[in-house]
Chains A and B, each alone.
Chain A
């Protein structure tokens, strides 16, 4: 899995490509936790190039959400394939993680 990070108008954007599974999620976890621990409050995770996601990926996102809450941070997800989005719906993760259609829409959530 490839992870690229960029800053967009003060929002930290993670772009994931490939597979986010039990094997690759520790790398993502390390990066997102590090970002939050160094003070990043606004995060977008862009799933456009992500082909696959399992519960390991969900756990990383849950961990990040729990860390952002006490510091009034916010995370928005975007650009998911239908079947990836379904994983969020089945697990109920879409009830506390906003999922937008594209990066621009995700960025607007922070205005």
Chain B
């Protein structure tokens, strides 16, 4: 029986548990250790949460697609959404040294995604944002 590799989630934070569990199963099947499992879930969650919270101006249900694969010792997680055009690679790094009073509350998610994976690629295809995350197994 072929292993399911494409999953769809609604643009709702309640889907996070499902998303992370799916990723944990995927990561375990590839032999990722606790740290790697944590990092891959964190990267996907941060990106997914950003899509949910900032990707849409309407209140409609949208579907976010996650495709999982493995190639040349890399776990590949591809997240696709039809939200507003957004390239996380272009976001400036947050200030991580300023004092507490000046710390902004946002901007950390993308920074964490970048630090948790080995490779990150973005492309826009038609009306879709496609983010590909690669993590060494």
Q: A22-B13, A91-B111, A91-B112 are in contact. Are A83 and B38 (CB under 8 A)?
A: yes
Which residues of B have CB within 8 Å of A91?
A: 94, 96, 108, 111-112
Give complex CA distance A58, B13 in Å: 17
A82 at the interface (CB under 8 A from B): yes
Q: Are A59's CB and B45's CB within 8 A?
A: no
Contact with B along A69-89 (1 / 0, CB 8 A): 100000000000111100100
Interface size on B, residues (CB 8 A): 31
The 8 closest A-B pairs by CB, nearest first: A92-B96, A55-B108, A22-B49, A83-B35, A55-B109, A83-B38, A96-B100, A23-B13
Give complex CA distance A92, B97 in Å: 6
Which residues of A have CB within 8 Å of B95?
A: 92
Contact with A along B88-129 (1 / 0, CB 8 A): 000000111101110101101101100100000000000000
Q: Give min CB distance, A18 to chain B, whole Å.
A: 10
Contact with B along A91-104 (1 / 0, CB 8 A): 11001100000000
Residue of B16, B38, B100 touching A22 (CB-CB under 8 A): B16
Q: Are B39's CB and A83's CB within 8 A?
A: yes
Main secondary structure on B side of the interface with A: helix
B46 at the interface (CB under 8 A from A): yes
Offer 15 A-B interface pairs, CB within 8 angstroms, sorted by A. Answer: A19-B20, A21-B20, A22-B13, A22-B53, A23-B14, A52-B20, A52-B38, A54-B49, A55-B49, A55-B109, A58-B108, A59-B108, A66-B103, A90-B112, A92-B97
Which residues of B have CB within 8 Å of A52?
A: 20, 38, 41-42
A105 at the interface (CB under 8 A from B): no
Q: Are A69's CB and B45's CB within 8 A?
A: no
Interface size on A, residues (CB 8 A): 25
B2 at the interface (CB under 8 A from A): no
Which residues of A have CB within 8 Å of B20?
A: 19, 21, 52
A63 at the interface (CB under 8 A from B): yes
Interface residues of B in 35-57 (CB under 8 A from A): 35, 38-39, 41-42, 45-46, 49, 52-53
A35 at the interface (CB under 8 A from B): no
